[in-house]
Structure 1
Amino acid sequence: MRQNNWTWAALVLLGAAALLLLLMNRFPGALDSENAQMRFVYGVLLLTLVGSGVLMGWRERAGVALKQALTWIAIALVLVIGYSYRDVFSDIGSRLRSEVAPSVPVTGEPGTAYLSRDMTGHFHADALVNGTHVRFLVDTGASDVALSAADARRVGIDFSRLSYTIPYQTANGVIHAARVRLDEVTVGGITLRDVDASVSQGGLDTSLLGMSFLGRLGSVEVRGERLVLRY
């Protein structure tokens, strides 16, 4: 019986090859496009799965063979639908992730980052500064990327070289900061190099993603509950 199965499999493959040659000869260029090729692959896959289900149940009752064929058809449909709507499923997954962790940037394409508004009504961004994770509050009113003292230490800023000569007006009053330059700041799919920043002497608990980063982008746009950054 096993030898007969291999014979049938060989005949099926030869038949599929003959059908492919016939179609290419009868309809030249019909399989040139990617969509046409994928439809042909789907069709061959579906016929193969159905045929294998029927062959495996050939010696059993007709009901078993039919159930196996229907099972393979369902599996094939799930695979086809999953592949066809992969972009939609990916977008849904990104949206769910942004709802669970609003500060984690979602990258739609290179040079973009999407941030979701958190429960406080603000936009936060998990970024990489010189390869180190820093959580920023997005602040278009801040002239610089402002690092808190704690984040500056983690990034590797040498405090012995800092000169706190720049005054900043905050909600808690005037604080002084030192000018620094960051080698690299990455938010989602956006990476900027040589970013001007400042390190506060005190009074700043959360680092701010200010205009020395945002001002170098092509656009910063609020769309409902999402902040869209494009380089």
Structure 2
Amino acid sequence: MVRQSATGSAIDGVLMEYRTFPAESLVIIPSHLSFEEGATLGCVGVTAYNCLFGEKPIAAGDTVLLLGTGAVSMFAAQYASAVGAEVIFTSSSDVKIAKLRQLGFLKAINYTRTPQWHVEVLKMTGGLGVSHIVETGGQSTLRKSIECIRTGGYIHCVGFLDTTAPDPGDLELTDNGFCKNYVVRGVFVGSVALFREMNQFISRHQLQPMIDRVFPFDHVPNAYEYFKKQVHMGKVVIQVA
């Protein structure tokens, strides 16, 4: 299985000073990025790119819904903006929503104050729904994602961050959902070929990965504690050297 061979998943990752890798698995990072920025690409960067370009590439005029402000969402927002697509975020934090607006992402919904956020998404899109959804919530958000996807849209399932128990009704799909001919696809990172394609895209658009904070190697426990607080936006990086 893919998960059993994924570095940092079922086997040891790269939180170490030295390690060998098969040459065919390595890529050259974009020349304008630092090593810290390059370190953010290997999992979430490729995952976000796979979502938006791996099956049906997004284009100018598309609308992308991003659940939360984690690293996958932030990468996806940069990719979408680079091609002229519109981005809508959901978040439980007004502080993070304010930061998003400072970054130029003006459409965001606080899902704690607006539990029926899918209805608001439909309003924002004139009732059409969004073209792509990067679905990081999981079982308890999927039905709402289906309700606000547009006809022929794509829902890319990449995570299960919402740990609340789903309401039994969340497991039911409406006729409206089935009539949309949408696609739900599971995304687990991506291939080396896709990684190289992503790096070309990043270089072409001169994108800078969003790093929330960098911790030195001897402060690894602090980095994990900070990550657990879920106050970050973008990547938390541990500097090896």
Range class of TM-score, shorter chain? under 0.3
Structure 2 length normalisation: TM-score? Answer: 0.19
Structure 1 length normalisation: TM-score? Answer: 0.20
Structure ID, larger Rg = 1
Higher strand proportion: 1
